[in-house]
A and B are shown apart, each in its own frame.
Chain A
Amino acid sequence: MKTKIAIIGGGPAGLAAAIAAKEAGVEEVLIIERDRVLGGILNQCIHNGFGLHTFKEELTGPEYAARFIEKAKELNVEALLNTIVIDISRDKVITAMSAEKGVFTIEAEAIVLAMGCRERPRGALNTPGYRPAGIYSAGTAQRYVNIEGKMPGHDVVILGSGDIGLIMARRMTLEGAKVHAVAELMPYSGGLKRNIVQCLDDFDIPLKLSTTVVDIAGKDRVESVTLAKVDAKNKPIPGTEEIIKCDTLLLSCGLLPENELSSQMGVDLSPITGGPRVDESLETDIDGVFACGNVLHVHDLVDYVSKEATEAGEHAAEFVKGASKRDSEAAIGIETGNGVRYTVPVCIRKSRLRDLLTVRFRVGNVYKDPEICVYLGDKCIQRRKKQICAPGEMEQVILKKTDIEAMNSGETIRIAIENESK
């Protein structure tokens, strides 16, 4: 089959991209989704707190997803469900497979990558110990509790204070489990403050910072885990061990963009984000292949995913309408200055800029009272005071087209954290 824009993944990013592309006037927009429903991970995120930016009200995950699904339906976005993409070629031929259609191909003029991310498993942490039942990533446990209606355990320790881990601490508690502790390797939590207060403090669940799991006991089912404090290099400190009897260990130790398909097709990936390196139009190094949402870089708020994906959908629409080929125009690089781990996008082509461009980034450490600075060449054009910047919260700066146009050739853009209080 053929389509104008194929969108890989029907989660929040894919849905927003599809809607934006349709609204920009593209007739054929096709979402390919491996699950039997649209909405992606939002369907199991039944807690509230979604949509404050997008809808100015607090929704739960399924409610937030439903609004986009309904909108997509209204606009007649086509969706192939229960369909897995197994390959994408550089010339944008998608090979997919479904029970209904068997193995088949889709030729697309543009592709939006919106495959999301997955959780870092225990294996990747290389935690020593036994390998019994009772070790789950927080998201897997969330699925068991919120979709299947099953309990993955009753006496719980959580490693990692990412938001899913915090949310699951509360969820398991409300289902009658005892959550003994949340251990966090870093000296600060990667989760939102609101979640620490409402998911841990409300239920007197201790958050143990600079702490990790150094052993897992139990041959068949988890029987206990051993926690220990870590030093500044994240190495366990002998003598600080604490054994906690439990039957379950949940892991919330980070999310990894799921770019197997992107890497198979040869998209240039950033070693820092694990996602594609994109330009101002969220276009990867392959013409007509765009990326958005958690497959591009891991977000903390779905509202930002929707916003970014809307941009990707619009750019994909411009691409298929022939308006915005990159040709041979040289790109202006965006450099990461002090404290900035990465930026999205990584480069800009002047001719394709809209009036305003949002550059999203994350910092590498906790900074108090810093200034977020933007340099064009040597000239600092923005200096914004913040109370705090933390790795857990995505930051952004807005660049003006007029400023970029005034840059001399050969100059680059740099974003940096300056003047933080020690």
Chain B
Amino acid sequence: METRHLTCIGCPMGCQLTVTFEPGNRDSVKVTGNTCKRGELYAIDEVTNPTRTVTGTVRLKNRHMKVAPVKTKTPVPKDKIFDVAEAMMKIELEAPVRIGDIACADVCGTGSDLVVTGNID
């Protein structure tokens, strides 16, 4: 069994959660310190499959190397955050770009596309 301490992000309360679990076994997770159901659900996800939406920018080569905003279309595993950030740095697009344009399909093998989030003419 492993033990982790987390701060719940469900509300400003910020409950200090103590989570014990067997790695890889979702049913084994025990959460204490939470004051509502949301805390438990958050903790279970955080210790079994933590994910984040990664946002950042990519270059626009025909706009004096200014940038366009992008995000992963769906949350990606937390341990891929830096890989995705690195990948963004290498991408160059040509303006104009539109919200939803795919900047990079299946970024870093996460299964999530990197999509443009701003309209730049």
A–B direct contact (CB < 8 Å): yes
Task: Answer yes or no: A23 CB below 8 A from chain B CBs.
Answer: no
Which residues of B are found within 8 Å of A59, using beta-carbon distances?
117
Give a binary string over A348-361; 1 marks a CB under 8 Å from any B CB, 0 the rest: 00000000000000
Which segment, of A83-91, A192-200, A319-327, faces chain B? Answer: A192-200
Number of interface residues of A (CB under 8 A): 31
Which residues of B are found within 8 Å of A145, using beta-carbon distances?
57
Give a binary string over A86-109; 1 marks a CB under 8 Å from any B CB, 0 the rest: 000000000000000000000000
Measured in the bound complex, the distance between the Cα atoms of B85 and A193 in whole Å is 23
Q: A146-B67, A149-B65, A202-B52 are in contact. Are A66 and B99 (CB under 8 A)?
A: yes
A residues 31-47 near B (Cβ < 8 Å) are: 43, 46-47
Q: How far is the CB of A60 from chain B (nearest CB, A)?
A: 4
Q: Assess whether B12 is in contact with A146, with CB atoms less than 8 Å apart.
A: no
Which segment, of A222-230, A271-279, A386-394, A412-420, faces chain B? Answer: A386-394
Q: A193-B11, A392-B12 are in contact. Are A48 and B55 (CB under 8 A)?
A: yes
Q: Assess whether B12 is in contact with A46, with CB atoms less than 8 Å apart.
A: no
Task: Answer yes or no: A63 CB below 8 A from chain B CBs.
Answer: yes
Q: Find A62's partner among B6, B14, B54, B119 (CB 8 Å cutoff).
A: B119
Task: Answer yes or no: A148 CB below 8 A from chain B CBs.
Answer: yes
Task: Answer yes or no: A406 CB below 8 A from chain B CBs.
Answer: no
Task: Answer yes or no: A58 CB below 8 A from chain B CBs.
Answer: yes
Give a binary string over A368-401; 1 marks a CB under 8 Å from any B CB, 0 the rest: 0000000000000000000110101100000000
Task: Answer yes or no: B33 CB below 8 A from chain A CBs.
Answer: no
Measured in the bound complex, the distance between the Cα atoms of B88 and A171 in whole Å is 13
Q: Assess whether B9 is in contact with A60, with CB atoms less than 8 Å apart.
A: no
Q: Find A58's partner among B9, B10, B53, B78 (CB 8 Å cutoff).
A: B53
Q: Assess whether B9 is in contact with A193, with CB atoms less than 8 Å apart.
A: yes
Q: Assess whether B99 is in contact with A63, with CB atoms less than 8 Å apart.
A: yes
Give a binary string over A198-220; 1 marks a CB under 8 Å from any B CB, 0 the rest: 10011000000000000000000
Task: Answer yes or no: A237 CB below 8 A from chain B CBs.
Answer: no
Q: A62-B99, A62-B119 are in contact. Are A174 and B82 (CB under 8 A)?
A: yes
Task: Answer yes or no: A75 CB below 8 A from chain B CBs.
Answer: no
Measured in the bound complex, the distance between the Cα atoms of B9 and A390 in whole Å is 14
Which residues of A are found within 8 Å of B66, using beta-carbon distances?
147-149
Give a binary string over B95-120; 1 marks a CB under 8 Å from any A CB, 0 the rest: 00001000000000000000001110
Q: Find A198's partner among B9, B10, B82 (CB 8 Å cutoff).
A: B9
Residue of B nearest to A62 (CB): B118
Which residues of B are found within 8 Å of A147, using beta-carbon distances?
66-67
Q: How far is the CB of B53 from chain A (nearest CB, A)?
A: 5
Give chain A's interface secondary structure class.
helix
Q: How far is the CB of A379 from chain B (nearest CB, A)?
A: 30
Q: Find B118's partner among A46, A48, A174, A198 (CB 8 Å cutoff).
A: A46
Measured in the bound complex, the distance between the Cα atoms of B52 and A47 in whole Å is 11
Q: How far is the CB of A73 from chain B (nearest CB, A)?
A: 12
Q: Assess whether A387 is in contact with B55, with CB atoms less than 8 Å apart.
A: no
Residue of A nearest to B9 (CB): A194
Measured in the bound complex, the distance between the Cα atoms of B75 and A58 in whole Å is 11
Q: Find A43's partner among B12, B36, B118 (CB 8 Å cutoff).
A: B118
Q: Assess whether B55 is in contact with A60, with CB atoms less than 8 Å apart.
A: yes
Which residues of B are found within 8 Å of A60, using beta-carbon distances?
55, 69, 71, 117-118
Residue of A nearest to B10 (CB): A193
Residue of A nearest to B117 (CB): A60
Measured in the bound complex, the distance between the Cα atoms of B57 and A336 in whole Å is 44
Task: Answer yes or no: B35 CB below 8 A from chain A CBs.
Answer: yes
Q: Assess whether B7 is in contact with A197, with CB atoms less than 8 Å apart.
A: yes
Q: How far is the CB of A199 from chain B (nearest CB, A)?
A: 10
Q: Find B85's partner among A174, A196, A390 (CB 8 Å cutoff).
A: A174
Q: Assess whether B11 is in contact with A48, with CB atoms less than 8 Å apart.
A: no
Q: Assess whether B12 is in contact with A393, with CB atoms less than 8 Å apart.
A: yes
Task: Answer yes or no: B81 CB below 8 A from chain A CBs.
Answer: yes
Measured in the bound complex, the distance between the Cα atoms of B100 and A63 in whole Å is 9
Residue of A nearest to B50 (CB): A202
Q: How far is the CB of B99 from chain A (nearest CB, A)?
A: 6
Q: Assess whether B118 is in contact with A149, with CB atoms less than 8 Å apart.
A: no
* Interface hub of A43, A147, A174, A390 (most chain B Cβ within 10 A): A174
Residue of A nearest to B35 (CB): A387
Q: Find B11's partner among A174, A197, A201, A388 (CB 8 Å cutoff).
A: A388
Q: Which A residues form the contact surface with B (CB < 8 A)? A: 43, 46-48, 58-60, 62-63, 66, 145-149, 171, 174-175, 192-194, 196-198, 201-202, 387-388, 390, 392-393
A–B complex contacts, Cβ < 8 Å, 25 sampled: A46-B55, A46-B56, A46-B57, A48-B71, A59-B117, A60-B118, A62-B99, A62-B117, A63-B99, A63-B118, A66-B118, A145-B57, A149-B66, A174-B82, A175-B56, A193-B8, A193-B10, A194-B9, A196-B14, A197-B6, A197-B9, A198-B52, A202-B78, A387-B11, A392-B12
Closest 7 CB pairs between A and B? A62-B118, A46-B69, A149-B67, A194-B9, A174-B85, A193-B14, A60-B117
